[in-house]
Amino acid sequence: MITVGVDLAAEPKKTAIAVVQWVGSTATVRHLQLGVTDPEIVELSVDAAKVGIDCAFGWPDEFVEFVAAHSRGEVAPRELAGADWRRRLAYRDTDRFVREKVGRWPLSVSTDRLGLTAMHCAELLAAFERHGHVIVDRSGEGRFAEVYPAAALRFWGVAVDGYKTDPPARAAATANLRAAAPWLDLGDDHLGLMATSDDAFDAVVAALISRASAQGTTWGIPEQSRERATREGWMALPSLPIGTLIDS
């Protein structure tokens, strides 16, 4: 099996892709690249059973309704007010689900620094659709999955504190991932890139989450969130230990 992980950014410079091959009890990073374009991502994903993208696939329903109504000079219907209403606009059902499972809020696609990246994600998913002539299922039940490396690592118990900004912490995070997944062959070149780039590191983790999604070892979508997930997106969050990614 081949899985792909994409750590998406607003521009190619900070976008990374990892291609991982799974054979029996081993997994090998076959390709790891920083500074990748959308056409390259599509091409490198041709043989992948699952493509995990670290970015929100959609916006909260209430936020979309609010912006559309506001542009018309209207007030969207609401049941909440004040901070509770603003929080409803900021977070999707999948964000609340992840918060419940791992005790950490994802960044808000509505209010944090994800807006431009989410727009890029919409472009990338459209490129995949043009290439494959199919509509991407935002709920993750098709070939593409929205992933959140920080939440998966937290669930798997891999310590990565400070890896986004501190090089020594990033090297330690890479070592901790190798200790948790000794069956993962990173290769010296890829290991060096992971130690210097948090984007490359996250791309590899995204590819691992893709494997869990392909196996069906991620948390399912609650029935009450299924319809929303087709619009808002849904994060594939592992439900079993990292060691279950390989065949025993």
The predicted model gives 44-63 an average pLDDT of 96
The predicted model gives 69-81 an average pLDDT of 84
Read off the pLDDT band of 247 (50, 70, 90): confident
Q: Kindly provide the residue ranges of all beta strands, DSSP E only, lying in the chain, ordered along the sequence.
A: 2-7, 16-23, 26-34, 50-54, 144-146, 184-185
From 1, 50, 2, 6, select the one nearest 204 (Cα to Cα): 6
What was the pLDDT predicted at 74? 83
Strand partners, 218: 238
Q: Is the pLDDT of residue 248 over 80?
A: no
Q: 164: domain range?
A: 2-245
Question: How many structural domains compose the chain?
Answer: 1
From 209, 190, 202, select the one nearest 32 (Cα to Cα): 190
What are the pLDDT digits (tens) for 82-96? 888 889 999 999 999
Q: Across the chain, what does the average pLDDT equal? A: 94
Residue 57, H or E segment: none
What are the pLDDT digits (tens) for 112-144? 888 999 999 999 999 999 988 788 899 998 999
What was the pLDDT predicted at 127? 95
